[in-house]
Each structure stands twice: as structure tokens, then as C-alpha cells.
Structure 1
Amino acid sequence: MEILSQNKETEQARDVFGCQQTETCQQYQPSRAVDGYINTFMRQRGRIAGFSLYVSNTTIKEDGYLCYNNGQELPALNFSTTCVKHGRYVIFYNERLDGTRYPTGYQTSHVYTELCEVAVTGCKESGVYGNNCDLPCPNNCQELRGDIVHGTCLGCTAGWMGEFCNTSCPAGYYGLQCGSTCTRHCRDNLFCNHTTG
């Protein structure tokens, strides 16, 4: 089996800071990837050390949810994590700040990131969850959206609450997140409808 990416020249390799002056650009080509070059392997781990992953509906990481934050240790290059969040963007973030002391192994100068493959998986259809995406989400999940692993709702339709949106609002309340209070104008002093009020 031939690995095509190893046989392809990359233009970005010539952009590595200082490599043209030192004539070392060839060491950043795909043919020199981690498949047997332990120094390259450790250098790559040192460059991505300390990274974070966010899921957000905007391009601003602070608006999103922190899914993963690498700790003090050097991360594995073949990295996988589960983050069950709904969003439009997956943001990879890493920084090196002047004057900050980093753990051993962190590369702190001329740091750049090479992401070979990023896979974001989920069910193709909304309203389902599970390993085979064949279990229906509860009927009262908002937009029929649920956690793709456990089926818990990401939000409830009006009048419902709980992880699976299977509990109606308590007496005297109605609407989204059961946040509205019923008025005392219902016939026969009955409580209002938990969905419409």
C-alpha cells in the first residue's frame, strides 16, 4: 500500500521560518512525517502541546463551549475526544505567550500547527441518536435534537422539562423552560395548560 500524502511536495514547507536560509525545508515535507522519525514526532507534539478545542455557533471561541484542554503533558498526535455539543464551528486554539514558562517538551519558538485530518462525526439525520443513529430522540426535545450518545435533549419544547423532556411543567407554570407563570383567569380556578398557558 502506498501512502500518497508522503509522496506529495507541500508548498507550506518552504514557509517554515528560517528553513530557506538554513536549507532545512526538506525536513518539513510529508516524506519526513512521524512514521519513523522520533525527533520529528517529539517536535510536533511539542508544537501542539497545550491546545484547546471549542464548539461554538460563532467564530469567537469565548462564545463557545470548551470541549477539551490539553494539560501539562505532551499530547498524542493521534488524538480523539468526545464532545457532545451542537454548534457550527469547531475551533482549535493554541498560544505561546512571551514571558510564560511552559512545561518541558513544549516548543516555544517558531510554533505552527499542522492538522492532517479533523473528523467531526454525528448522525446524518436529526431526531435520532445511538451508535447506529437508529434510536429516536424523545418527542418533546426542541427541534428533535438530542445528545447523539445518550439521547438526552439539548432543550425542551414549550411545556416540558427534564433531561428527556418527559416531565410537564409544574402546576402554575408553562412555556419554554417552564419560565412563564399562569394568570389566575382560568375557568373553575384550574391551572393553565402547561404548554400554552
Structure 2
Amino acid sequence: MALKRIQKEKTQYLQNQIQGVTVKFDEQNPFQLYFTIEGPRDTPYYGGQFNYKLNFPPDYPFKPMKITSLQKVDHYSNYSCILERCNCCSPQNLLLRQQDWSPQLTFYSQIKSIVQCFFTEQFTHLEDVDTNQSRLYKNNRQQFNFNIKSTIAEEKAKQQIIQFIIFERCIKQFMSLNSGSIFIDLFF
């Protein structure tokens, strides 16, 4: 039953995708998918890419899926966050709250709920949240926004370094296989 439901949801998702979200289905494991949320415009998250892994349990949809954030994401919808142990989406397994789960919910609805966490204008009930980040958000929003943008810039820099290292290794391998003149002919 779980596999049939997952396939149905996958088909529905492909017909009605969420803007700013890329979903990659794991063809080797139909009980797993990955998704990336692009930081929305007009938010401090703009320019960032936030990666998640979603695992369906064997008794889905009667049990909630498990979502794992693959990097830390500071956000302030903790008060209504769909994820237990969120801690601002630190990289750990994030369990959907059992009391909030219903078999009628889909992975589409859960991804959409996570996307909403990135819209700071929708934050309310901040008095119910007491974390270092929520205090910073309440007391110094400019610093909060700066911290988010700095984290995004650091992540982009890491990705560029990784890409450069991979490129450098490919060039070195190419150079060892081919003569210098062929290398020069290819790039000039």
C-alpha cells in the first residue's frame, strides 16, 4: 500500500510542482527522495539552496515521513514547525509531530510547509519561542539577516572551492593523459 501511495503522490507532484523547489526521486529506493529549496526573493535566504532528504516509512501514510535537513537553516516558524527537534532545522533527523500527522497529508504538503518557514514576514507568536536565534530576530533583525546572508555566502564559497578542486583534478588527469600541445589547442 505504501509504495502505491508514494507513486500516486509522485505523479501528482510532477503535474503540480512547487516553484523554487527541486525534487529528485531516488530510483533505487522509492521510499526516499531529496529536495532543494531555493531561498525566496525578498527574504534573507535569497541566493541560498537548502537541501533535505525525505524517507517514507514502510507503513506510510499511516506513519509520518522523516525529513532530514542536510545543513543548518535558521528560521523562526518554530512555534508552528511541522518538525520535532527542529532547533532551526539543524542537520539531524526531523520527525513530523505525531499529533499533527494525518494520512491525508502528502509529501507535497510537507515540503510546502517547510518552504513557508523561509518567509520571515509570516512569523507570528515569537513570544512563544525562546532560542538564541529567536531573541536575535526579535532584538536585532538586521544582525539576524546578516548572519543568514553570511551563512549562505560561506556555503557558496565552500561549493566553489569543491568545484575548483574537482576541476583541478580533472585538468591534472587530462594533462597526464595528453600532451601539453593538445591541452593548449583545446583551451585556446
* TM-score interval for Structure 1 and Structure 2 normalised by the shorter chain: under 0.3
What is the TM-score when the length of structure 2 is the normalising length? Answer: 0.26
TM-score, normalized by length of structure 1? 0.25
Q: Which structure's residues are more often helix, by fraction?
A: 2
Structure with the greater alpha carbon radius of gyration: 1
- Structure with bigger RCO (C-alpha 8 Å, 6+ apart): 2
